[in-house]
A = this chain, B = another copy of it.
Amino acid sequence: MKNSVGREIPEYIESYGQVKPFDGALANYGERTKTSVKLRSVKPGDNKLVETIDEVLDKVGIRDGMTVSFHHHLRNGDFVLNLVMEAIAKRGVKDITVAATGIFKIHEPLVDYIKSGIVTGISVNYIAPGPVATAISKGLLKKPAVLMSHGGRPRAIESGDLHIDVAFIAAPTADSYGNMNGVQGKAACGTLAYAVSDAQYADHVVAVTDNLVPYPACPIEISQDYVDYVVKVESIGDPNGIVSGTLTVTKDPVGLRIAKLAAQVIEATGYIKEGMSFQTGAGGTSLAVAAEVRRFMKEKNVVGSFAAGGITGYMVDMLNDGLFRSLFDVQCFDLKAIASMRDNPKHQKMSGSLYGNPHNRGAVVNNLDVMILGATEIDTDFNVNVVTGSDGIIIGASGGHNDTAAGSKLAIVVTNLTKGRLPVVKDQVTTVTTPGETIDVLVTERGIAVNPARQDLIDKLKDTDLPIVPIEELKNIAERLTGKPEPIEFSDQVVAVVQYRDGTVIDVVRKPL
């Protein structure tokens, strides 16, 4: 069948089940249910501290077919997923589904577990290009991977679509009764926001820490009433892999030109205004947009309401400069962000659900004015791909892409028109991650295209000297520069299901031939 972005998807996918096709970004609201939770109540005098991960696996009764979960705030420095999976693998347990909020190169050991059938399922909302993503693309995983968004995952957990048997929460600081935070300890990573739904809904919740502090931990982000066991390990992560170095504005002249154009679009459409809200990623071009927006805000003497998302030192500087009244932080990208979250009450954490879940009573993305997004490919219907590369291999998942696009009033994709001698604007993207109906403007170095559905924006931009062109023209320019690439050929095997944030299927990834 075809879904509403025109993608051909199966009605039923083996090991996934019946497919609910994507039917529009706003099609799936209304009455919702948060599922019930099973737990074992803890008596006065009970001890939660367990000596080893192996002993935890006994306590939770690990067995074939279970789903175990992890969060990715330790990013490419995370040791916890590997430590737990190694202990599981040693027991000969099989058919495990890994529900990780993010997977990085450091998680390469998963590839062997996939090959040996220890891991047969993966659900993930951020995945870095690398060995695990490639193994999935090659069809090594028994069940199709499920690619979600940062808001879609807590939606899935809260609704019961994604049931977690055991949540393992990497805790830079914990006490022996399970109170945790991420702002203290040698593996400090800032907020633990993506793990909040796991703690609330998993059958068993385990804090894994290398910094066991006297009771009570202070501050507390995830509290003891959600935690069954605490286990101390030598190290939960490598600080060098956890935080990025200083993230800086791009120096590339093309990136700077794109950023300048994007900021001019924001200004010309009236979004540089008192109380404005803003989100951007951590890439060099995105930060360059932030730098331009900052300049406009200072010129106009404007104070914004909030900046949100994964937070960098750049956003912290804007907060401290008084350009925003508050930050909503779901993930700290650098040391400055971690310190700010620890010390500044205006730097507020938000759970993944509060950030982007479409089925709660209103996520933060709903209040975003301006969102700056990247793209691997974008088609002439403004559908965006951030999941697959030009060779059809998986290089990412939505992260907050389709959440913020859906929520924000002005969703701008900034990208070079061509990358690696391939066009970014195409007739059809390889994989749809984010529906075009939620993308408002595309900014490239060769011109700006506005979604025809946004006549209000077109009207506001038509008298400016900004290079507004139809998106088809950008496609043509790109193809003239690079030639039209040969289409990638795929087998019928579905290796990954791309869920939209509401749990419908917006696309599938098939195995490249």
Contact = CB atoms under 8 A, between A and B. Distances in A.
Contact of A367 (B35, B215, B363, B365): B215
Interface of A: 26, 29-46, 48, 177-178, 205, 214-216, 218-220, 223-228, 275, 305-306, 325-326, 328, 345-346, 348, 350-351, 353-354, 357-367, 406-407
B36 A361 contact: no
Contact of A218 (B32, B226, B326, B358): B326
Nearest to A306: B216
Contact of A214 (B220, B225, B325): B325
A275 B224 CA distance: 18
Query: Copies of this chain, how many?
Result: 2
A42 B360 contact: yes
Contact of A32 (B32, B41, B350): B41
Contact of A362 (B26, B38, B46, B220): B46
Contacts of A367: 177, 215-216
Contacts of A205: 361
Nearest to A407: B44
B46 A228 contact: no
B357 A225 contact: yes
Contact of A38 (B33, B178, B306): B33
A354 B31 contact: no
A55 B26 CA distance: 26
A40 B361 contact: yes
A406 B43 CA distance: 10
Given A215-B367, A219-B345, A226 B33 contact: no
Contact of A29 (B26, B41, B359): B41
A132 to B, nearest CB: 31
7 contacts: A32-B41, A48-B362, A215-B305, A216-B325, A216-B367, A218-B345, A227-B361
Contacts of A215: 275, 305-306, 367
A360 B225 contact: yes
A366 B45 contact: yes
A223 B354 contact: yes
Interface centre among A219, A220, A225, A226 (most CB of B within 10 A): A225
B36 A31 contact: no
B30 A361 contact: no
A41 B358 contact: yes
Closest 5 CB pairs of A and B: A42-B362, A225-B360, A34-B37, A44-B366, A41-B359
A33 B40 CA distance: 9
Contacts of A305: 214-216
B178 A362 contact: yes
Contact of A33 (B37, B346, B364): B37
B214 A354 contact: no
Contacts of A325: 214, 216, 218
Contacts of A225: 351, 353-354, 357, 360-363
A36 B39 contact: no
Contacts of A407: 44
Given A218-B348, A325-B214, A328-B216, A361 B226 contact: yes
Contacts of A351: 225
B177 A362 contact: yes
A44 to B, nearest CB: 4
A29 B363 CA distance: 35
A359 B327 CA distance: 35
A345 B345 CA distance: 9
A351 B358 CA distance: 25
Given A26-B44, A32-B40, A216-B306, 9 more contacts: A31-B38, A31-B40, A177-B367, A205-B361, A214-B275, A218-B326, A223-B354, A225-B361, A227-B361
A358 to B, nearest CB: 6
Nearest to A205: B361
A365 B31 contact: no
Contacts of A35: 36
A17 to B, nearest CB: 21
A220 to B, nearest CB: 6
A431 B148 CA distance: 55
B34 A36 contact: yes
